[in-house]
Amino acid sequence: MQIHVVKSKIHRVKVTGADLNYIGSITIDEALMEASNIYEGEKVSIVNLNNGERLETYAITGPRNSGEITLNGPAARKVHKGDIIIIIAYGILTCEEAKNFKPALVFPNEHDNSLK
């Protein structure tokens, strides 16, 4: 049997922009993507702590150390600049693999999205 497990999480990061006219996705600071082991094009879940919205999209790389977290396309309707979100990516593992797996968890500074 295989199960879905949390592979990566960026916990409590501030939305810096929402661009309705972009094709789609979430733009994430490259340093945050690297630290959390999230890859460009990878499917991610977004949980908005301000309004309870949950959505799925894919990650694209933003400028390194910019603090950028921008929801693009239709997802821009689910957030506002300044909202606090959690970004989660999942992996599929066997039950045996999951017993010893350790996810990449990142807790950035909520004020500027920098790594602590």
Residue list for the binding site for substrate: 57, 73-75
Residue from 25, 36, 39, 45 carrying the catalytic annotation = 25
DSSP 3-state percent helix, strand, coil across the chain (nearest 5): 15, 45, 35
Which one from 45, 58, 90, 114 is the annotated catalytic residue? 58
To the query of whether residue 25 is one of the catalytic residues in this protein, the response is yes
36 among known catalytic residues? no
The torsion of the CA quartet 32, 81, 47, 103, rounded to 10 degrees, works out to 10
Binding residues: 57, 73-75
3-state SS track over 58-92: EEEEECCCCCCEEEEHHHHHHCCCCCEEEEEEEEE
Active-site positions? 25, 58
